[in-house]
Copies of this chain bind each other. A is one copy, B any other.
């Protein structure tokens, strides 16, 4: 199709912003009750139609008087006035104040006719003869809040565009306004496409390539955060008529329709067809990474944006281009974000000549300076976002960011702050529980070796290392020991008795990657076995079926055993106990937490040390765990 050329002619991001702004999402007005108005934006001016207060009001407990009757009165020579009655708050005054008279009033009472001031009760004494002695002079208007003093009828009370907070609610309440016209939330339809998608909470068949649908709920959350009203549609196969039908239905029901995953070759055909038949294609392809294959157009009366399928790309394009348009429609154009300045802790290459939004994490160094490190696990990895605090906007002509270079980070939200402590290293269930006791820690379970590398590069505050560690130039904060071995099916049906069985028998084994400290201990044990047998290490490991079949985290290999996919897996006694599997012990390894010596003064690091000192309760709860020797 001819329009496909635009995909090669990538649009400048500024042009894409304009194209989405031109789609003119929403803009309607709805009337909501005062309790639902908080956070909404007034669509029209609200004028006062009543005076507030609606009457001249006593501002003190005391006596309503004619001020001139008190002129000259003081402690030694009080003015004595005749008591003419009482008015409480919420009462129609029965009395009036004539010359030489006073009426008792409580705060909030209607000022009786004739009175023009209130004497506070503390400066008066009531006497037995139905008179009151006033021991001070008051001026006309004193301790009276006049009708309309707060707001008067006809006044412009609140202008269009005002966000309604508790303060505006208080003014609207005072005016007796029970409902207000506010900018409507644009209805935003969300359609994820792909045969392989399964809604969270349902069963997944990984063997058939099924994955959970990430974008639908994540984008719905983004839409809601921007002030829109997300409308979730069932996900559809991207190559068939169902997609055209759902797009048409969503366009009829919503102000804006978002699809994700609809930018693959087969889906694009369907989108083009629908957009061409029923709307207008405005743009295809933005010169930005992630998120290049974005489509912008209209379907019937609705705006349409086709987002990429990968979660990081979809959310990044949503955040950069779509969320501002939704906020604009709701009358809150200001971005829900902020920036922070920092220094790159590591070098980051720019790879290609395209503008790039690099997800980055923040960490505070020992001097309180903010360091920035790239978090790139790929556009398909949701943790590229949860492990990041914001993005660095890398222009197309940047070749790389050097370590130490100053950068500006656009935070994901204004209240983002660096984690109190950044740890990198081995994953471990005892450590997870310790982390739960900290306030806003961040832990990247990349394995023991990467932990030491991040520590050496002065990025991480602490590294967590399992098994033997070479000389580490760092402060030991604490640690513990854990029992490891072979996790086997419950009851050990194959009667596995140790590592030798892996070598000598045809058992299907699942290993951990080389970054893992557990793997290092296994390799060392197999090396000892090789030595005992006078064979090379390679001969021994080659004899283990599945030695190169690795799973990244500590529970994954045992779960392969639980699923019946393996006879034995490298793992912890604690994991075997948790998953009700059998366990063949091989050894015990130390897990040690090391801190960067420059960062031991950080409150987050000190807090971690305290928790490690007090780790007894955590360890006694986990099978095979004990204190460090």
Contact = CB atoms under 8 A, between A and B. Distances in A.
A593 B589 CA distance: 81
A184 interface: no
Copies in the complex: 2
A89 B194 contact: yes
A53 interface: yes
B173 A200 contact: yes
A385 B170 contact: yes
Interface stretch (A44-52, A75-83, A272-280, A339-347): A44-52
A554 B315 contact: no
Contacts of A172: 200, 217
A200 B221 contact: no
B427 A145 contact: no
A45 B61 CA distance: 56
Interface stretch (A174-182, A523-531, A611-619): A174-182
Contacts of A179: 201
Nearest to A93: B209
A38 B429 CA distance: 27
Interface in A481-495: none
Nearest to A34: B217
A174 B212 contact: yes
A148 B386 contact: no
Nearest to A381: B150
Contact of A555 (B154, B213, B334): B154
Given A45-B436, A174-B311, A150 B382 contact: yes
Given A54-B204, A154-B429, A165-B413, A148 B552 contact: yes
A164 to B, nearest CB: 8
Interface in A41-82: 45, 47-48, 50-55, 57, 59, 61
A186 B148 CA distance: 37
Contacts of A386: 157-158, 167-168, 170-171
B551 A147 contact: yes
Given A150-B383, A159-B436, A165 B59 contact: no
B200 A55 contact: no
Given A34-B217, A440-B161, A92 B145 contact: no
Interface stretch (A19-27, A104-112, A449-457, A620-628): A104-112
Main secondary structure of the interface of A (DSSP, over half): loop
A89 to B, nearest CB: 5
A465 B151 CA distance: 20
A210 interface: yes
Interface string A83-102: 00001111110000000000
B225 A150 contact: no
19 contacts: A34-B200, A51-B552, A52-B212, A54-B206, A54-B211, A89-B195, A89-B196, A90-B209, A92-B205, A108-B211, A109-B209, A148-B551, A150-B383, A161-B440, A166-B218, A167-B385, A170-B217, A173-B218, A174-B311
Interface of A: 34-35, 37-39, 45, 47-48, 50-55, 57, 59, 61, 87-92, 107-110, 145-161, 164-179, 194-196, 198-202, 204-222, 224-225, 232, 264-265, 311, 315, 318-319, 334, 377-378, 380-383, 385-386, 388, 412-415, 427, 429, 432, 435-436, 438-441, 443, 445, 551-556, 559, 575
Given A34-B217, A50-B204, A92-B209, 20 more contacts: A38-B221, A39-B225, A51-B551, A52-B211, A55-B206, A90-B196, A90-B209, A108-B196, A152-B552, A154-B429, A154-B553, A154-B554, A154-B555, A154-B575, A155-B553, A161-B440, A165-B412, A173-B216, A178-B199, A178-B200
